[in-house]
Amino acid sequence: MRWALVRVCLAVTAMVVIAFAVPLGLVVAEMARDRAFSDAERQAATIGPTLTITTDREELTRAVLSTEPGGRGRLAVHVPAGEAGGARLEIGTRRAAPADLETVRKSGRASIADVAGGSVLLQPTALGSGGIAVVEVFVAGEDVSHGVGTAWLVLAGVGVALIVGSVAVADRLGVRMVRPAQRLAGAAQDLGEGRLGTRVPEEGPTELRSAAVAFNSMADQVVQLLANERELAADLSHRLRTPLTVLRLNAASLGEGPAAEQTRAAVEQLEHEVDTIIRTAREQRPQTQGGQPGPGAGCDASEVIRERMGFWSALAEDEGRTVRLAGVDRTVRIPVARPELAAALDALLGNVFRHTPEGTAFAVDVHHSGGAVLVLVSDAGPGIPDPESALARGASGGNGARGGLGSTGLGLDIVRRVAESTGGDLRIGRSVLGGTEVRIWIALDGGPAGRARRGHRVGRRSGRRGPRGGKGRNADLRAARDQPAQD
């Protein structure tokens, strides 16, 4: 494109220069010729007064020599026979043919004739006696073309300068158009090769800027889709831990025998594969900005909390824990899907049962204040020594206090992304019961409440399910209690 634009501009400028420079050069040559012969006419006219007074040879010779062309031998006077004592009189060097002189004398009109080395101007002049003499002025060829060569060189230089300038401008315009297109093509190739951080500067012509904006938007969408996919794989794999723990406990109760050993080996292999999936998805997860809940998404936080607390109350009663539930006596609508909130609550309550001794009290409080809902999960346990590390996704890597699968640190991250998806945040502190307090700040309708408190980036959400109820619920609860620390 760049060189095509340069060639087109070169051709157009060259045609314009030729169309104007050639006629202008011809006009300059014609003007130089007219100037030369106008000077010759003026010089011939200087002899006219002398011819009207006298035709004496000596007088005419002095008059001719007194002129500039006469002194250079370029002016001659031709007096016909009968006007100077009967004989034909010629003063100066004659260059014109006798026939041309006779024609001018008879016609009485000036004429120009070509001679060797240039041209002659033949100017008829009236004599005092009534006859016609002819004044001949020689105009050399260099006088006719004087200044024409210089003018043509100037015109040629101007034409070349115009062509070079237009080519340079066209080349700069071509670069301005081609470079953004090349960057766009290179970025598309890089993105296709897996370099997801590739972006294009939004510069250049309007059309290419629009293409760059569209490309960057597309690249962001690709990164977000990949992030959603990997987050979903990690979170779904994390949720397999509860049924896997149940399977492991049931397998442990099978006793001895080949079938029991095979079952336990299969459960261990499945646990290993789940760990691998979680770890791989977490390590490859690109950093992306989250989105907001879709239209119609949301649930009644009070209803979901009452349901999940009813689920966990059986295990709390089993272990002699005192449970307090407050703020769930009225409807509290939040922009979080029901499965999302249930999964977050299960993660927090599961941590309470896993990491605090039996008999430790805990509480769940819900506070509604204008543009935000605050959910507090607190306990009377030993607390978390390093809350910042606990909030880091995948920070924990040790085994739980009761054994089991290695921790992946995804549990609190699930809770945090639920809060951040609304513009809120997650914080860990010391509760009034003496242990840990986890605060989930949920902004309503994507309001600025959470953003004013913390600058967390909004995360992606995927569908979640809480622990199953119904048959075997106590077994599921105990299995969930035995999961690893700080999930």
d(CA 174, CA 1): 7
- pTM of the entire predicted model: 0.40
pLDDT by residue (tens digit) across 342-363? 888 888 888 888 888 889 999 9
pLDDT by residue (tens digit) across 369-389? 778 999 999 999 888 877 777
Q: What is the pLDDT of residue 439?
A: 92
Q: Which of 147, 132, 143, 145 is nearest to 72 (CA)?
A: 143
Summary mean pLDDT of the chain: 77
Q: Which of 129, 86, 131 is nearest to 108 (CA)?
A: 131
The residue-averaged pLDDT of 163-170 equals: 85
- Where is average pLDDT lowest: 248-252, 269-273, 290-294? 290-294
Residue 469 — pLDDT band, cuts 50, 70, 90?
very low
d(CA 247, CA 238): 15
362-369 and 323-326 strand pairing: parallel
Scan for tokens 């590390």, then name that residue.
389
Q: What is the pLDDT of residue 392?
A: 64
Q: Facing residues of 429 across strands?
A: 437
The segment with the largest mean pLDDT, out of 248-252, 262-266, 430-434, is 430-434
Q: What is the pLDDT of residue 476?
A: 46
pLDDT by residue (tens digit) across 420-429? 888 898 989 8
The residue-averaged pLDDT of 441-451 equals: 63
Q: What is the pLDDT of residue 287?
A: 41
The residue-averaged pLDDT of 447-472 equals: 39
Q: What is the pLDDT of residue 377?
A: 94
Taken in order 90, 94, 98, 100, is the CA torsion positive or negative? negative
Q: What percent of the chain has pLDDT over 70?
A: 77
> Is 109 a residue whose pLDDT tops 70?
yes
